[in-house]
Amino acid sequence: MATRAGTTTPFTSRSTAADVIAGIDLTGRRAVVTGAASGIGVETARALAGAGAEVTLAVRDPAAGDRTAKDIRATTGSEDIRVAALDLTDPASVRAFTAAWHGPLHILVNNAGVMAAPESRTPQGWELQFATNHLGHFALTTGLHEALAAAGGARVVSVSSSGHLFSPVVFDDLHFTERPYDPWLAYGQSKTANVLFAVEASRRWAADGITANALMPGGIQTNLGRYMDDGQMGLFMTHLRALLGEGTPLPEMSFKSVEQGAATSVLLATSPLLDGISGRYFEDCNEAPPHQPGTNTGVAPHALDPEAAERLWQVSEQLLD
């Protein structure tokens, strides 16, 4: 239901993927989940498979994908689980994936990601987090556009983060060639890009019946935190204090289970409560309000800026050309 305060649902931060998909039948629907061999990607894929969807696990490590597929088959009874290789940092890998796809695609969950990685670049010179979290998913989704349009009412779900509050997309220095590399600013920029992609995809693809939304899954202890040593945690806290402002007490750190972390992704991918809702940013299974100073929740204006969204789309096409 749409209200002036945003789109709300009966679900909360404690809801699980199983809660939000209860009673939904996805028989005959086809879904792709990137990064589906670990963390919330596994639980997202499991929920979709359990509701009857044919699910493709798009993973960098097919052996890990095969192990995950076996686990999902065992827990859901579904045999419609496929594994396909996808390296989001390699445009050739993305092209191979999209070229091999035939028929409609009803659900695309752009879930894979890297967080606070040490400074690293792809062979093209792209900063790793921007390349993985945004450019690879941009290439994948635009490459699957015809399949999404053919589905009639397809949904694209992009996993963003409250980290988007740390940085807008810095168009003058996307790849940190002019400014000192900061892993949290790089992460924040890439997560802002995830939201801006949903904004512009909504505008460009509305006539195709495609909706696109972004979300913050919540704090979950998964492999996404593999770079979180003491130094990175200290730098994160520095950015968090700057965001909150002098004198604001730090929020209590609370973590969700992976089943709870997957809930907002699954909700956006499947719930009839969100039919026609597009270009939004959700957290805790509800549309996020505008960010308020002194908090680390809500959506920043820079992430919903339609001019930035259009510019990012154009720049992304140019980089991938």
The two three-digit tokens of residue 246, written as one number: 């002098």
Type of residue numbered 237: M
Q: Are 126 and 76 in contact (CB under 8 A)?
A: no
Residue 287: helix, strand or coil by DSSP?
Answer: strand
In angstroms, what CA-CA distances link 311 with 170, 192, 198, 281, 303? Answer: 11, 13, 13, 19, 12
Q: Are 34 and 28 in contact (CB under 8 A)?
A: no
Q: Are 210 and 276 in contact (CB under 8 A)?
A: no
Beta strands in the chain, from DSSP E residues, in sequence order: 2-3, 6-7, 30-34, 54-59, 81-85, 107-110, 155-159, 211-216, 281-283, 286-287
The two three-digit tokens of residue 16, written as one number: 């699980």
Q: Which residues fall within 8 angstroms of residue 27, CB to CB, at 6 or more apart? A: 52, 53
Does residue 187 have an active-site annotation? Answer: yes
End-to-end CA gap in the chain: 40
Q: What residues are labeled active site? A: 187
